């Protein structure tokens, strides 16, 4: 599989936030009520209706003011914590291009992916279904650039063949964030400063408890989940619908193992 | 045409005539006939922009197709200026002809350090004409010790009446703010994100404080002068957007253009009680 990816050259970003708006336009996401809380940055965090956003970070370098702009989004990790923990098969999936997309119809709203993500990305919409950057797979499959990339006027946001993006980025001599982390991120940064200056973990990792979950408990959990459903069905067939209502709340019990 | 990206440069001087498009006729250099002598030969033969070659102009698209100056029925090179020649100062200004520094009508210092005349003598003052209270001005007044300037933000166009009512844009810049330095914020006990009142001799507005190192105190003639900044794209017609910065700005017209002096005037700032 030839991976596609984003390369985000932060030094070129002018914080015009065309990317924020273009994403909302393409994905038909509503605006949310916000207030200024002492920063140009708004909304303050990613939401179910905001799949990418610019962080405004004020720093100083040799006594000179320096503004850092970081496009925050799902990093489309090759080793994706969200996918590892997701108990509902097909709710989170990898596209042919290697991006991490989702199917809301299959999302059961369990919130596990929130804990599995090292970058605090997944959100839940009003219907309690996952929402995050899906890499505009619908556009990409049709030979188009993601909406945010298309709208970016400065060449900060680039999208294409991952290996090629890395090769070109290397000619800048700047370190690439995410080339190898989590088996390679599908959204990488070219940073001017240290990752910590952008509030990025130098070595992002999936919480260790997740491995236990994924390798031991999740298989059991899925068994337990369907087991519970099976018992309920049996119950329905043998005892009738009224009791099922009483027992129904236990249906998801197997998930919490 | 705008999408053209040819890097061909037949002139060799960097005109790149097939890179994008240059309004109005893809001419790259204005008044380019001034780069040749009366016979149409480039003044600088090593860097020709345009030249007369057997009854035709070659090189850049000529700025007006008239023949070289030595020929009959021609026109001088500076085709948009009344006398057709270059100027070292603009004719027809009410003051000048040479540039001079004047202090703004409202300013924090008593004397113009660069000239004996403090303010531009040809500005239009409304208050002086028996104007209204909201036309008053207060220079070097202790009640309004800080310099204020107003500006736009990327997300809103002009006063924002259209963009503030475009929800996606308003989400990013929802309401009135005032930017100030950490030093001034400390002096006034204002914390980032707190609601403040900014007042001038003409009015007051509520604004959220953005405390930022992008604002720095000035040292002017040995004293520290603070500056605050406010956008002028908020106001009525949008819920929760806050008031217009134009309630603060002075009523004054530039002597030539009547442009008001919204980039430098005096205010006070206090935390809202
Ligand atoms: S950044 Fe988070 S949500 Fe995106 S792929 Fe990685 S783990 Fe999943
Ligand atoms: S790739 Fe698509 S979904 Fe992701 S941030 Fe860009 S526009 Fe939004
Ligand atoms: S569109 Fe590009 S330049 Fe503008 S804020 Fe987004 S990444 Fe930065």
Residue with structure tokens 């990613």? A46
Considering only alpha carbons, which residue of chain A is nearest residue B193?
Answer: A38
Q: Which residues of B touch A65 (CB under 8 A)?
A: 213-214
In a domain, A188, yes or no: yes
Confirm if A37 and A44 have CB atoms less than 8 A apart: yes
Which of A16, A32, A65 lies nearest to residue B171, judging by beta carbons?
Answer: A32
C-alpha span between B69 and B77 (Å, rounded): 9
Listed as own residue / partner, the contacts of B63-70 with beta carbons closer than 8 Å and 24 or more positions apart are B63/B27, B63/B29, B63/B30, B63/B31, B63/B32, B63/B33, B64/B33, B66/B33, B67/B40, B68/B33, B68/B36, B68/B37, B68/B38, B68/B39, B68/B40, B69/B38, B70/B38, B70/B39, B70/B40
In a domain, A252, yes or no: no
Same domain, B78 and B152: no
In a domain, A246, yes or no: no
Which of A15, A31, A37 lies nearest to residue B168, judging by beta carbons?
Answer: A31
Phi-psi region of B107 (alpha: psi -120 to 50; beta: other; left: phi over 0): beta
How many independent structural domains does chain A possess? 2
Same domain, A226 and A149: no
Whole-number pLDDT of residue A92: 97
Smallest-distance ligand from the CA of A147: 2
SS3 category, A119: coil
DSSP class of residue A238? H
Q: Encoding tokens for residue A56?
A: 């405004």
Same domain, A46 and A160: yes
Q: Using DSSP bridges, classify how beta strands B204-211 and B177-180 pair: parallel, antiparallel or unpaired.
A: parallel
Same domain, A115 and A25: yes
In a domain, A107, yes or no: yes
Same domain, A176 and A227: no
Q: What is the pLDDT of residues A58-74, one digit of tens each?
A: 999 898 999 999 999 99
Domain boundary at B49, B66, B87, which?
B87
Smallest-distance ligand from the CA of A73: 2
Q: Is B173 within 8 Å of A36 when comparing Cβ atoms?
A: yes
Same domain, A223 and A143: no
Same domain, A79 and A139: yes
Smallest-distance ligand from the CA of A118: 1
In a domain, B163, yes or no: yes
Taking the CA of residue B154 and the nearest CA in chain A, the distance in Å comes to: 7
Residue A255's pLDDT band, with cuts at 50, 70 and 90, is very low
In a domain, B132, yes or no: no
In a domain, B23, yes or no: yes
In a domain, A178, yes or no: yes
Q: What range defines the domain where residue B34 resides? A: 1-87
Q: Which of A4, A8, A27, A48 has most ligand 2 atoms within 8 Å of CB, for mutation?
A: A27
- Higher-confidence residue: A207 or B230? B230
Same domain, B156 and B50: no
Among A31, A43, A55, A154, which would you mutate to test the B interface (most chain B Cβ atoms within 10 Å of its Cβ)?
A31
Q: What is the pLDDT of residues A100-146, one digit of tens each?
A: 999 999 999 998 999 999 999 999 999 999 999 999 999 999 999 99
If one counts every other C-beta atom within 10 angstroms of the C-beta of residue A167, the result is: 10
Same domain, A221 and A120: no
In sign, the C-alpha dihedral spanning A142, A148, A149, A151 is positive
Whole-number pLDDT of residue A256: 37
Q: Which residues of B touch A18 (CB under 8 A)?
A: none
Distances (CA, A) of B252 to A163, A209, B124, B147: 60, 67, 6, 16
Whole-number pLDDT of residue B52: 96
Q: Which residues of B touch A49 (CB under 8 A)?
A: none
Whole-number pLDDT of residue A222: 57
Quick one: A109 exposed, middle or buried, by C-beta within 10 A (0-12, 13-18, 19+)? middle
Q: Which residues of B touch A36 (CB under 8 A)?
A: 173-177, 193, 208, 210
Same domain, B161 and B77: no
Quick one: A232 exposed, middle or buried, by C-beta within 10 A (0-12, 13-18, 19+)? middle
pLDDT tens-place values along chain B, 273 residues long: 989 999 999 988 999 999 999 999 999 999 999 999 999 999 999 999 999 998 999 999 999 889 999 999 999 999 998 889 998 887 788 988 888 999 999 999 999 999 999 999 999 988 766 778 888 899 999 999 999 999 999 999 999 999 999 999 999 999 999 999 999 999 999 999 999 999 999 999 999 999 999 999 999 989 999 999 999 999 987 888 999 999 999 999 999 999 999 999 999 999 998
In a domain, B102, yes or no: no
C-alpha span between A215 and B65 (Å, rounded): 79
Q: What range defines the domain where residue A180 resides? A: 4-206
In a domain, A249, yes or no: no
Same domain, A139 and A217: no
In a domain, B133, yes or no: no
Q: Is A42 within 8 Å of B213 when comparing Cβ atoms?
A: no
Considering only alpha carbons, which residue of chain A is nearest residue B216?
Answer: A65
Same domain, B260 and B153: yes
Residue with structure tokens 């599995």? A116
In a domain, B202, yes or no: yes
Whole-number pLDDT of residue A219: 58
Same domain, B78 and B154: no
Considering only alpha carbons, which residue of chain B is nearest residue A24?
Answer: B168
Same domain, A27 and A91: yes
Q: Encoding tokens for residue A242?
A: 């009224």
How many independent structural domains does chain B possess? 2
In a domain, A211, yes or no: yes
Domain boundary at B62, B87, B112, which?
B87
Which CATH number is A15's domain given?
A: 3.30.70.20
In a domain, B70, yes or no: yes
Same domain, A214 and A197: no
Given a cut of 90, whether residue A243 has pLDDT beyond it is no
Domain boundary at B47, B69, B87, which?
B87
Same domain, A94 and A122: yes
Interface of A with B (CB under 8 A): 15-17, 20-21, 24-25, 30-40, 42-43, 58, 60, 65, 67
Which CATH number is B228's domain given?
A: 2.40.40.20
Given a cut of 90, whether residue A84 has pLDDT beyond it is yes
**Average pLDDT, rounded, for chain A:** 86
In a domain, B111, yes or no: no
Confirm if A171 and A33 have CB atoms less than 8 A apart: no
**Lining residues, ligand 3, CB within 6 Å:** A 13-19, 54, 69, 71, 151-152, 154, 156-157
SS3 category, A242: helix
Q: Is B155 within 8 Å of A65 when comparing Cβ atoms?
A: no
In a domain, A253, yes or no: no
Whole-number pLDDT of residue B241: 93
Q: How many residues are recorded in chain B?
A: 273
Same domain, A79 and A172: yes
What mean pLDDT do residues A183-200 have?
A: 95
Q: Which of A12, A14, A21 has most ligand 3 atoms within 8 Å of CB, for mutation?
A: A14
Q: Encoding tokens for residue A229?
A: 């459903």
What is the distance in angstroms between the CA of the first residue and the CA of the last residue of chain B? Answer: 58
Same domain, B153 and B265: yes
Q: Is B193 within 8 Å of A24 when comparing Cβ atoms?
A: no
């Amino acid at each position: 599989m030839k991976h596609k990816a984003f390369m985000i050259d932060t030094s070129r970003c002018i914080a015009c936030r065309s990317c924020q708006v273009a994403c909302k336009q393409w994905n038909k996401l509503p605006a949310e009520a916000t207030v200024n809380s002492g920063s140009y940055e708004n909304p303050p965090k990613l939401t179910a209706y905001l799949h990418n956003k610019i962080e405004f970070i004020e720093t100083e370098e040799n006594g000179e003011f320096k503004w850092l702009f970081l496009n925050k989004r799902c990093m489309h990790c090759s080793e994706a914590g969200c996918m590892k923990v997701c108990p509902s098969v097909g709710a989170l999936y990898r596209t042919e291009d290697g991006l991490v997309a989702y199917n809301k119809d299959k999302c059961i709203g369990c919130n596990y992916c929130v804990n599995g993500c090292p970058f605090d990305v997944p959100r839940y919409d009003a219907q309690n279904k996952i929402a995050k950057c899906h890499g505009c797979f619908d556009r990409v499959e049709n030979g188009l650039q993601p909406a945010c990339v298309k709208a970016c006027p400065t060449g900060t946001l680039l999208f294409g063949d991952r290996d090629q993006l890395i090769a070109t980025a290397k000619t800048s001599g700047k370190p690439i964030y995410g080339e190898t982390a989590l088996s390679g991120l599908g959204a990488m940064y070219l940073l001017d400063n240290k990752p910590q200056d952008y509030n990025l973990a130098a070595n992002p990792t999936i919480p260790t408890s997740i491995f236990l979950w994924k390798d031991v408990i999740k298989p059991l959990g899925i068994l337990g989940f369907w087991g519970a459903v099976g018992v309920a069905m049996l119950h329905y067939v043998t005892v009738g619908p009224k009791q099922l209502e009483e027992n129904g709340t236990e249906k998801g019990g197997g998930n919490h193992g | 045409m705008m999408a053209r990206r040819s890097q061909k440069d037949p002139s060799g001087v960097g005109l790149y005539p097939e890179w994008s498009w240059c309004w109005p006729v893809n001419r790259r250099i204005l008044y380019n006939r001034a780069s040749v002598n009366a016979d149409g030969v480039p003044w600088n033969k090593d860097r020709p922009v345009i030249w007369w070659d057997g009854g035709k102009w070659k090189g850049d698209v000529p700025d007006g197709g008239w023949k070289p100056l030595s020929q009959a029925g021609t026109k001088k090179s500076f085709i948009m200026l009344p006398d057709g020649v270059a100027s070292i100062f603009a004719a027809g200004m009410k003051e000048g002809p040479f540039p001079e520094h004047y202090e703004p009508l409202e300013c924090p210092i008593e004397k113009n350090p660069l000239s004996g005349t403090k303010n531009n003598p040809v500005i239009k003052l409304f208050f002086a004409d028996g104007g209204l209270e909201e036309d008053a001005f207060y220079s070097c007044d202790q009640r309004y010790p800080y310099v204020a300037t107003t500006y736009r933000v990327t997300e809103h166009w002009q006063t924002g009446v259209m963009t503030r009512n475009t929800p996606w844009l308003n989400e990013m810049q929802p309401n009135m703010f005032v930017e100030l330095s950490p030093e001034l914020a400390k002096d006034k006990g204002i914390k980032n994100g707190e609601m403040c009142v900014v007042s001038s001799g003409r009015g007051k507005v509520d604004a959220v404080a953005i405390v930022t190192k992008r604002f720095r105190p000035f040292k002017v003639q040995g004293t520290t002068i603070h500056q605050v900044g406010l956008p002028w794209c908020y106001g009525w017609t949008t819920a929760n957007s806050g008031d217009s910065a134009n309630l603060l700005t002075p009523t004054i017209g530039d002597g030539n253009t009547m442009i008001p002096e919204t980039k430098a005037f005096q205010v006070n700032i206090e935390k809202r009680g």
